[in-house]
């Protein structure tokens, strides 16, 4: 019996760069679940599991898109440095402290352009009981901390919105950095 050697196509390459563990009811992602080419993975879907720790993502240096909706992610989650990550969907989790979580993203995900964190306690909206003022303040804060962001939740970041965010929050950010710098010198 003859074997047919099929040439690898561009579609095959794209498929190899994506992996999904969505809807698996996983509490953690262990090494035995991960493919040998994990360092090549660019798109990872972990929707609707029970994950509360993201340190395993250090094995994904080329990750560009992470979907981790409906898990148990909280404000203090440990996120490794992900230089390539530009899209993060982290809707329906347990993020309660916006500043802690966003500072983690600002430090560890410097290329982030698309962020959706709807239906988290720290992301006020009409749908979870937040006022319009709280919603606008939330957007301004996130936009001021993530300089490359072009989309937050379901809305594009406008130039006017970015300017207002910088006007409101840049002085506070600079003061916080100065305090940290002084503290580190002691």
Confidence of residue 182 (pLDDT cuts 50, 70, 90): low
| Overall number of domains in the chain | 1
Q: What is the mean pLDDT of residues 153-163?
A: 96
Q: What is the mean pLDDT of residues 103-127?
A: 95
Asked, for residue 3, whether it belongs to a domain, the answer is no
Using alpha carbons only, give the angle 13, 68, 9 rounded to the nearest 5 degrees: 5
DSSP 151: E
Exposure class string for 68-83: b at 16+ Cβ within 10 A, else e: bbbbebbbebebeebe
State the sign of the Cα–Cα–Cα–Cα dihedral 76, 78, 83, 85.
Answer: negative
Q: What is the CATH number of the domain that holds 174?
A: 3.80.10.10
Whole-angstrom Cα distance, residue 157 to residue 59? 31
Asked, for residue 121, whether it belongs to a domain, the answer is yes
| Position 156 pLDDT exceeds 90 | yes
pLDDT at residue 158, rounded to an integer: 96
| Position 34 pLDDT exceeds 80 | yes
Mean of all residue pLDDT scores within the chain: 88
Q: Which residue has the higher pLDDT, 64 or 182?
A: 64
């Amino acid at each position: 019996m003859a074997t047919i050697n099929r040439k690898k196509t561009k579609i095959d390459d794209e498929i190899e760069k994506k992996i999904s563990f969505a809807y698996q009811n996983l509490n953690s992602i262990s090494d035995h679940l991960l493919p040998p080419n994990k360092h090549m993975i660019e798109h990872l879907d972990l929707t609707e599991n029970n994950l509360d720790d993201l340190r395993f993502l250090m094995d994904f240096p080329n990750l560009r898109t992470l979907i981790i909706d409906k898990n148990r992610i909280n404000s203090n989650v440990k996120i490794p440095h992900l230089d390539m990550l530009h899209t993060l969907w982290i809707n329906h989790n347990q993020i309660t402290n916006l500043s802690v979580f966003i500072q983690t993203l600002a430090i560890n995900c410097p290329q982030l352009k698309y962020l959706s964190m709807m239906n988290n306690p720290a992301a006020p909206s009409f749908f979870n009981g937040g006022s319009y003022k709280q919603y606008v303040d939330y957007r301004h804060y996130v936009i001021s901390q993530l300089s490359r962001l072009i989309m937050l939740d379901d809305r594009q970041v406008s130039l006017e919105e970015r300017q207002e965010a910088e006007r409101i929050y840049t002085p506070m950010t600079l003061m916080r950095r100065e305090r940290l710098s002084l503290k580190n010198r002691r």
